[in-house]
Structure 1
Amino acid sequence: MPKNVAEFQLIGNVGKITRREKVAYVSVAVNNNWREDGEWKSETVWNSVVCFQNVAAQIEAVEKGDLVRVTGTPRESRHGEGADEKYRTELVAQTFSILAKGGGEEK
């Protein structure tokens, strides 16, 4: 078993789905909840998940509004050159499961 692990798990609702030839990008909204001064607060955070061909079959039936569970690994990527070089952290899906369809029906 490896000593060092970087992984993520999201349970949230699907927003935008952008399908390309070899990759799909799925935005997943999750709510962060915390208590401040005795009052519960909530914030919606959108996460962009990168889905390569290894999970293509798992996202075939995914639609906007579906409740999903996504697991995977974060990775750093770099785009551009010189002064235009930009870095970002990508969330790369390993599993993508529909927990409930947008209409609330269990699957």
Structure 2
Amino acid sequence: MRNIAEFQIIGRVGKLKRLGSTIRVSLAANYPFKDKEGEWKEDPHWNEVTIFQGELQDRVWRQIQSGDLVHARGRIKQNSYVKDDETRYTVDLICNELSRLAKPVELGDDGE
């Protein structure tokens, strides 16, 4: 049996940034809930995915923009490092696939 540690996110792009030889993309997946008054609210969960693959980096950098709805998929990797004599742990979302599902909706001058 194959072992897997994967993630899948459908959400809106926040920021794209180059960091060394990688591209990092922040994604917000919204979870609706009812508050105490029975009103629907959004609870955005922000995650940052890291892209190492050169071809995927080029395509994402050229074609993906803030606000786009995307589907990201990849593997989860836990890392650790020592800072100030303390071991710190991180969870990296290494993105192998990222595709745009929709562009952001642009509202007209009248808000529609």
**TM-score, normalised with respect to structure 2:** 0.75
**Match for residue 94 of structure 2?**
92
Structure 2's unaligned 5+ residue stretches are 107-112
Q: Distance in 2 between matches of 1:58 and 1:95?
A: 11
- Larger-Rg structure: 2
CA contact (8 A) 1:58 1:96 kept: no
Q: Distance in 2 between matches of 1:95 and 1:66?
A: 15
**Paired residues of 2:53 and 2:96 also in contact (CA < 8 A):** no
Cα distance between partner residues in 1 of 2:10 and 2:90: 22
Superposition RMSD in Å? 2.4
Inter-partner Cα distance in structure 2 for 1:94 and 1:58: 12
Paired residues, number: 103
Percent sequence identity over matched residues?
33
8 Å contact kept, 1:74–1:90: yes
The 1:101–1:65 alpha-carbon spacing in structure 2 relative to 1, beyond 3 Å, is: same
Tell me which stretches of 4 or more aligned residues in structure 1 moved more than 3 Å.
33-37, 39-42
CA shift, 1:33, in A, is: 3.5
Output the CA distance in 1 between the equivalents of 2:7 and 2:34: 23
8 Å CA contact 1:58–1:97 kept in 2: the answer is no
Q: Which residue of 1 aligns with 2:13?
A: 14
Paired with 2:35 and 2:14, the residues of 1 have a C-alpha distance of 28
Distance 1:6 1:58 in 2: 25
Matched ranges for 1:1-107 at <5 A: 2=2, 4-34=3-33, 42-54=42-54, 55-60=56-61, 61-81=63-83, 83-103=85-105
**CA contact under 8 A between 1:22 and 1:53: conserved in structure 2?**
no
Structure 1 stretches lacking a partner, 5+ long? none
Deviation at 1:99, TM superposition (A): 1.1
